[in-house]
Amino acid sequence: MVVAQFELWQLIGQNPFKDLVYYWFNRNLQPFSYALHTRKSRTNFVRFDTWLFEMNKYFLILMITLCCGATSIAQNMYFPQEKNADCSGAIIMTDSMFGPTVPPEGHGQSLEIQKNQMKDMFLFEKEHNTLWYTFDAMYSAELSFDIIAIDSADDFDFLLFKHDGSEDFCEKIKRREMRPARTNMAKNRSDHKGITGLASEAELEYVQSGPGNPYSKSIFVQQGDKFYLVVDNYSKEGKGHRLHMHYAGYPRPKATLRFSAVDKTSRKPVKSDVEILIVTDDQNESNEVLYSLSDSSKYRIRLEEGVNYEINCNAKGYFFFSRDLKANKVKGNMKMVAKLTKVNIGEKLTLHNINFEENSSKLLNSSMASLGNLVSFMQHNKTVTIEVQGHVNAPNMKNSKDVKEVSESRAKSVYLYLIKHKIKTTRLVYKGYGNKEMIYPKPANETQELANRRVDILITGL
């Protein structure tokens, strides 16, 4: 029993429920520990032991639960290091939530903020008990956040700086060369409940020391923007805090796309490879690959609502399938069936989203996804030969040599891209058709002009 008692004390340690455990132990186990050592009758010993077990097993279960619960809480608690009190040792946030923290102590080794006026709306008078954070904006959106004191009596202030890309950024703060993007140093009142931060309904970007709104105006950020946030606890012997970031409209609601590939004629399932890309608004940027899926004819895909996507599908012996999924259509449960056409000589397919610089044959980055789809098609069908055909939008013009040269140079750009990606030249030819085969001889809008300005793929051999 003495050994058991020693091990129990070790288990309890600094557990927040230790007072309760000590009380229970002294009231229940300690008296019977002596009794166990003085009883000589084996029968009485067994009866006593059984009675003790029955009397205390439920409380033992409760005690263990409390100990484990406290251990779990402790594991989620962040214990700041001294370096975290300095800009150069800022805590790197990779999630939208952080904490709770234990109380920060002091200002670290470097006092970045000091000797300022009490009513300065841009800087603390000085650092007291600080923690520095750094984070990259997770989305392009309106950013707000909450700094929530564990003890509502604590008075937290903050400064938010946007990183300017310089290597001596922290030193520039120390030299007062960096103006914060947002600040709030309002005095904590009982109705504030120890909470401060940024909010969309707040009016002021900067709030100086003294009575005032504990929230400053939210800020619009671009994905990848880097920020530094310094949180200062003015209260002596204060406690820690939690930090919650909010991006307006994010995370987006999820939609479900049920995608299947079938033979266009027989309607039988076709095992295929599927690629899902996020389409950017900037044609100078490449579309981001979200998923690359393979070895099935059916897929269930989770997508964020309100985002433009491109769906590409490839299967051996078939033309590739490519469709745009517009943001306003991405919601709820969706269904898409790729009706794949078997590859035959003389068949023609238009490449979607092939874009060039104006009056140039230079491909824009927004074309890379469709070109990658063409490369995948050629890899799936290793004996197919093609003609890359270039077309231009030139209504009310003769199909002159100059017009043909523009279309041919663009076809050649696609041809060279395929060669660069190790498609043999013996499988490729290219030709410019000028404005001879415009789908819309008199285009009425930009969509029809884009349809005329295209690249087609003609199957010339199997």
Specify the amino acid at residue 281: D
Residue in 281, 138, 147, 290 with CA at minimum distance from that of residue 221: 138
Domains identified in the chain and CATH numbers: 2-76 (no CATH), 82-247 (2.60.120.380), 252-342 (2.60.40.2190), 344-462 (3.30.1330.60)
d(CA 287, CA 124): 44
The DSSP secondary-structure symbol of 325 reads: E
Largest CA distance in the chain: 118
Instruction: List CB contacts of 437: < 8 A, sequence separation 6 or more.
Output: 391
| Beta bridge partners of residue 149, listed in sequence order | 241
**pTM over the 0.95 mark:** no
Tokens standing for 359? 């009056």
Phi and psi (nearest 5°) for 288?
-85, 130
Structure tokens at 197: 């931060």
What H or E segment, with its residue span, contains residue 385?
Answer: strand 385-390
Pair 338, 322: CB distance under 8 Å: no
Q: In what order do the strands lie in the sheet with 298-304?
A: 298-304, 254-263, 333-340
Dist. CA 115–CA 56, nearest whole Å: 61
Handedness of CA 283, 284, 290, 294 (dihedral sign): positive
**DSSP code string of 162-182:** E--S-TTHHHHHHTT----SE
Encode the chain (462 residues) as per-residue pLDDT tens digits.
333 333 333 344 444 444 444 444 444 444 444 444 444 444 444 444 554 455 555 555 555 544 444 444 444 678 888 899 999 999 999 999 998 988 677 878 887 887 777 678 898 888 888 899 999 999 999 999 999 999 888 889 999 999 999 999 999 999 989 999 999 999 888 888 889 999 999 999 999 988 899 999 999 999 999 999 999 987 777 788 999 999 998 888 899 999 999 999 999 999 999 999 888 776 666 677 889 899 899 999 999 988 899 899 999 899 889 888 999 999 999 999 999 999 999 988 888 778 777 677 888 877 887 888 899 889 989 999 999 999 888 888 888 888 888 889 989 999 999 999 999 999 999 999 988 888 898 888 888 887 888 899 999 998
In whole angstroms, give the CA distance from residue 355 to residue 364: 6
The total number of residues written for the chain in this structure: 462
| Residue in 370, 377, 312 with CA at minimum distance from that of residue 347 | 377
Coil/strand/helix, residue 352: coil
